[in-house]
Amino acid sequence: MPDVGEGLTEAEILKWYVQPGDTVTDGQVVCEVETAKAAVELPIPFDGTVHELRFPEGTTVDVGEIIISVNVGGEAAPAAAPAAEAPAAAAPVPAAVPAPAPAAEEAEPEGRQPVLVGYGVAATSTKRRARKTVPAPAAAAPAAAPAPAAAPAPASAPAPVAEDRLNGHGPAADRPLAKPPVRKLAKDLGVDLATVTPTGPDGVVTRDDVHRAAAPAAAPATPAPATVAEPQAPAEAPVMATATAVAPAPAGAADARETRIPIKGVRKATAAAMVGSAFTAPHVTEFVTFDITRTMKLVEELKSDKDMAGLRVNPLLLIAKAVLVAIKRNPGVNAAWDEAAQEIVLKHYVNLGIAAATPRGLIVPNIKDAHAQALPDLSRSLSELVATAREGKTTPAAMQGGTFTITNVGVFGVDTGTPILNPGESAILAVGAIKLQPWVHKGKVKARQVTTLALSFDHRLVDGELGSKFLADVAAVLEQPKRLITWG
């Protein structure tokens, strides 16, 4: 599992595009994974034949774990399949993972090796601390001896480990071996790692081990691995698949009063970011309700304009343009707070974020240098941003560096809201539903298109005067769209 950047430590395998025996070429996409930021397609850097997929779809894997092995020896791949059923299954596996021939590397078959593009591991980065050598009865020695040979094959790892050497079992046991994410999982589930029987290579406790230990007593009687793997296969419904996997009792699943859904991926990252923002930046929210009828008429006119032919024209497009004009008149709202340097960073560019609801959760991709785009270009950028988000193909880079965000809650029929700032930004604008309402127009009550805007801002950066002026300018442009020309 490569490090795709952003300091992420794990990713969930959403879908495999290849199976054992398939031929792959350098640069071919072999799987799709979801990090806490976005879904990413991973290429393979080898030409060869797929030997093994180490993890099924729906599995969350730590960065650095080998998730696929490829046989680069051409015709040698078919021989690996029958060999896998033999006791010495570990023999063909090292050959499946490309590695130089020097004896120094053969002496450390347990070391992590770079498998996918973007991930490299130093030879010394995965050395584990030496385990204590404990005198064992003569009868136990033969059982422990095969451990080095069987370690590369996860399925055969538990058998060679002597009972008194299992993590947490017997007086001679060391501190249980487990990676930090697994330790955190155990802590969250209230599982003592010392009571968990490890099944990972070299006696390492895995996620599955922790989940099995946390399951009800009746759970081991059912074939848990098969139950988890099958529903998690469809990448289109990861949440439903996970909910099915954690059903407490198969017999009462239909009558369950609660469903527990693991918090992970985009939703987990969003939750952490929102909590951090809400309790770091002092939020202030202001509202303005106004007549947007002229802007709605302009939208209809632009739809028939030949210069906008083939482009998507909607109220959000003109609202975004009005925001850019208002930022130009009030540049102080386009800033960031640098806590470490104790400085206010004023941005002279606008990366306009658009909050998008996707099946995997809320994301905020942004349009780079939106301030420099004419209306047709802005329309294209918005269309591409929305289409990419709906397909789940938004890249981490597309969500970095935003300076101001618009969230359109009006599409759900909501009048307004008090949005939370996107971390690193100073303001966010919520757009409410546009409705036909009675309004005083030219001294008479008439039916007009009316909406409400809500601006939340960081009061460390934006005081009440600046926030009010900015919000009033956005409303003024949308009340009288000709200001797009006179003010822009």
**Catalytic positions:** 459
**Residue 9 in contact with residue 264, Cβ under 8 Å?**
no
* Distance in angstroms (rounded) separating the CA atoms of residues 322 and 478: 7
Are 140 and 162 in contact by the 8 Å Cβ rule? The answer is yes
Determine the Cα–Cα distance for residues 78 and 353; give it in Å rounded to an integer: 50
Q: Phi, psi at residue 97, to the nearest 5°?
A: -100, 115
Q: Token pair of 417, please?
A: 């809201």
Q: By CB neighbour count within 10 A (0-12 exposed, 13-18 middle, 19+ buried), where does 300 fall? A: exposed
Strands 204-205 and 177-178: parallel
User: How many CA atoms are closer than 13 Å to the CA of 92, on its beta-carbon side?
Assistant: 21
Please report, for residues 85, 111, 119, 423, the alpha-carbon distance to residue 122 in angstroms, rounded to integers and kept in the order given: 32, 9, 10, 34
Side-chain half-sphere exposure of 137, counting CA atoms within 13 A: 5
